[in-house]
């Protein structure tokens, strides 16, 4: 990401649970280590994080991603990210809640030398259970 957007060079990821990140964001203010939370999921997925954000507009807001610096190409010529207006909640007071954001394809890999068989099995189960939150529908 920092290659596509050099302004991100001074940011660092904090690998914490999504709910914990939202709690730190809400309670920590400007002194919090966490100043933004990125939620990765398919459109209209029912996640705790998105539900908290949508139900607490005084505490959280969706930030549109429209930065065309992120429109680099993969070696096969396809875009790294596509820019889409995604519906994150349907019809409240007659309007869908949408956000401009980036979408991409993903691939989960597990190294047999770095993960034990038990860890790989747990990871596979987790991916199967979470697939409905993160895997989008194919546009064919």
Per-residue pLDDT of the chain (140 residues; tens, 9 = 90+): 677 677 778 888 888 888 899 999 889 878 888 888 888 777 767 788 888 888 888 998 888 887 776 777 878 888 888 888 877 777 767 777 788 888 877 777 788 899 999 998 988 888 888 776 666 555 54
What's the DSSP call for residue 79? B
What's the DSSP call for residue 33? S
In a domain, 136, yes or no: no
In a domain, 135, yes or no: no
Q: Which of 38, 42, 51 is nearest to 134 (CA)?
A: 42
Which residues make Cβ contacts (< 8 Å) with residue 119, sequence separation at least 6? Answer: 110
In a domain, 85, yes or no: yes
For residue 94, the enclosing domain spans: 6-105
In a domain, 45, yes or no: yes
Total domains, the chain: 1
SS3 73: strand
């Amino acid at each position: 990401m920092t290659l596509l957007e050099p302004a991100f060079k001074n940011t660092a990821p904090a690998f914490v649970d999504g709910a914990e990140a939202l709690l730190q964001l809400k309670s920590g203010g400007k002194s919090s280590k966490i100043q933004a939370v990125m939620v990765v999921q398919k459109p209209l997925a029912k996640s705790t994080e998105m539900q908290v954000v949508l139900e607490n507009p005084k505490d959280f807001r969706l930030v549109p991603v429209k930065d065309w610096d992120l429109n680099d190409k993969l070696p096969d010529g396809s875009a790294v990210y596509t820019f889409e207006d995604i519906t994150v909640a349907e019809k409240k007071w007659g309007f869908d809640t949408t956000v401009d954001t980036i979408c991409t394809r993903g691939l989960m890999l597990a190294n047999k030398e770095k993960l034990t068989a038990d860890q790989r099995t747990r990871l596979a189960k987790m991916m199967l259970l979470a697939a409905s939150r993160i895997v989008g529908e194919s546009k064919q």
